[in-house]
Structure 1
């Protein structure tokens, strides 16, 4: 009965006035999900967002909340920003049967949080995904938090934390940069990033797993060339450009399945083709990578970074260099050292991260690990 009532209230809440119907952050639909973890209620959502140029997009995601009576006070919110799943529409986390198993942020629901997990622009919706494009991604995250507040059963407040892994770490840091100007109606209390790309050219160049590096580079090249018309001629031959396009259009990252033979061959070809290519030195790729890298001086606190010394995809030295830049400007930083692999970054640091986020909501003094970064 409680779920039926929440669904009815959600449908009533979505009868927006025509003038507001397409405003960024407006909820379009929230469909209750049936297969959810014990104690968790969830909705597949669709909402409006805008990119940095003001173009409007319908985008998707999942909102999860405790399966409890609506509390007297609004619930605390965590925006979970996912790592790389691909750049094709079919790669949206929200349509994956493995969403809950693959989403470390869901652990926070059991501690009373509402968790909103946006797909970002272009995943689950028919446009190219602007992978690692900071402002566009940040807008979609902030608008997801706004949309979540329009689901009565979620009972979400206006204060939120953002927590992400890998590509989602980049998204979390950019959300911290954009929050105050783009969404002054929300209050960001904490930002947590596990294995985040920060200097994009360095991250695409310095990861020790050359196969993963080639696949991520292919996703990025295809996305940026499609969206912005950047030529790949100085990076790859026309034949290899076709391989890059097929890798990006046909493949999603899945930890549950072995890669297809064609994907393996394509990746090995791109490894060879881009062996001595550094996009930092090739325009307009270099300038765009720098513009979408994370400027430590612009990231507002409180801030937590978790990084494994054994990460083969996000070079630990690049993340540590960013952390040192944060500390040099006098900001406090919570730093978590880990020893697992890249794909375990958020899971390995989840307990400490959720505890740290809770302390920020409680207004407790921030710890500072800058001396040991």
Structure 2
């Protein structure tokens, strides 16, 4: 009897007696219900596992939201919301902000019956450097957020998803679409929607017409890449200005309803002057890294929606349009939305049309194609 018990115990511990479903990898670490949600919305602050492009494992954070209704008979449709730039410091995680629901356009989709998985990405809300505009690292975190959402019983999330992102999140969404089939074959990508997406990083960091915003975003990128990969800043700025770049990145999150502090304003003006006329794409190793993390239009699957304001001062409209034309040359169905608002309102201004377009893709309708008029 003792030998029989030992054999059974060994089988249990080795997983041989467990059903196949129990042997699947787990992504969700924790899901804490939130109480400060909009009407009709239930949400969880989540922590889950992901890996970066080198295969290193990280515990990261985010928010998953779903309709506050009885669990349906069929799994709910999922949208992965990829946020724009909030900063690169750990404290800048969207999930930590009391303004999360007010400034997260993707949450509008919950009212249409979607589960929304909103990752913070690696290094926001977790103690490691945030890989700002690093394509594969961010894509992995997004795809694993969808997987983690599926492990929350109350969310009832299915395996079919769309990805929708704004600004930095537009870059994240396009990389997620590119990586989905190889990294997460257990998920099915239905559609990709982006608003004001950086696509050619060298051109985007060079050609935005708002020089002050460009200086802050460049500081985020330089600080992130130098700390993660050891890239020297000597070819970009002197020692004093290198310190200013680091302080701008370490101390500042993007504020949606506050004026920046005087020190931040002075720091941004200093870096804007120091980098005036400098093309980071021509300074190695930054140039090669920008090119490696730009979006290859040939690799982005359709259907695709792009919303872009002609008056965007941060993501130059001409660069987005050039990317769209390259996508069209590949025969990819593309929905193009022209807008005239501010960069920061890109997703909000196009939200109703974007959610309708995503829903039509889930419904299996033929995608519209605006390539002839771009």
- Shift, 1:255, TM fit: 1.0
- SS across alignment from 1:99: coil
Contact 1:63/1:117 (<8 A) preserved: yes
1:84 maps to which residue?
85
- SS across alignment from 1:71: coil
- Shift, 1:97, TM fit: 0.2
2:123 maps to which residue?
122
1:39 maps to which residue?
40
- SS across alignment from 1:100: coil
In 1, the alpha carbon distance for the partners of 2:201 and 2:149 equals: 30
In 2, the alpha carbon distance for the partners of 1:354 and 1:330 equals: 23
- Shift, 1:315, TM fit: 0.1
Contact 1:24/1:143 (<8 A) preserved: no
Structure 1 portions without partners, runs of 5+:
1-16
In 1, the alpha carbon distance for the partners of 2:323 and 2:25 equals: 31
1:14 maps to which residue?
none
- Shift, 1:78, TM fit: 0.2
1:153 maps to which residue?
154
In 2, the alpha carbon distance for the partners of 1:150 and 1:240 equals: 46
| Runs of 4+, deviation exceeding 2 Å | none
2:267 maps to which residue?
266
In 1, the alpha carbon distance for the partners of 2:93 and 2:336 equals: 30
- Shift, 1:329, TM fit: 1.1
- Output aligned runs, 1:290-369, within 5 Å: 290-369=291-370
- Shift, 1:24, TM fit: 7.3
CA deviation string 1:129-166 (max 9, x = no partner): 00000000000000000000000000000000000000
- Shift, 1:332, TM fit: 1.1
- Shift, 1:330, TM fit: 1.3
Contact 1:47/1:60 (<8 A) preserved: yes
- Output aligned runs, 1:1-373, within 5 Å: 26-373=27-374
- Shift, 1:254, TM fit: 1.1
CA deviation string 1:4-33 (max 9, x = no partner): xxxxxxxxxxxxx9xx99x97610000000
In 2, the alpha carbon distance for the partners of 1:331 and 1:249 equals: 40
- Shift, 1:276, TM fit: 1.3
Larger radius of gyration: 2
In 2, the alpha carbon distance for the partners of 1:336 and 1:24 equals: 39
- SS across alignment from 1:154: coil
TM-score by length of structure 2 reads: 0.93
In 1, the alpha carbon distance for the partners of 2:196 and 2:150 equals: 29
- Shift, 1:299, TM fit: 0.4
- SS across alignment from 2:58: strand
Alignment length (residue pairs) = 355
1:3 maps to which residue?
none
In 2, the alpha carbon distance for the partners of 1:270 and 1:236 equals: 8
Change (3 A) 1:24 1:47: farther
Structure 2 portions without partners, runs of 5+:
1-17
**Root mean square deviation, CA, Å:** 1.4
- SS across alignment from 2:101: helix
TM-score by length of structure 1 reads: 0.94
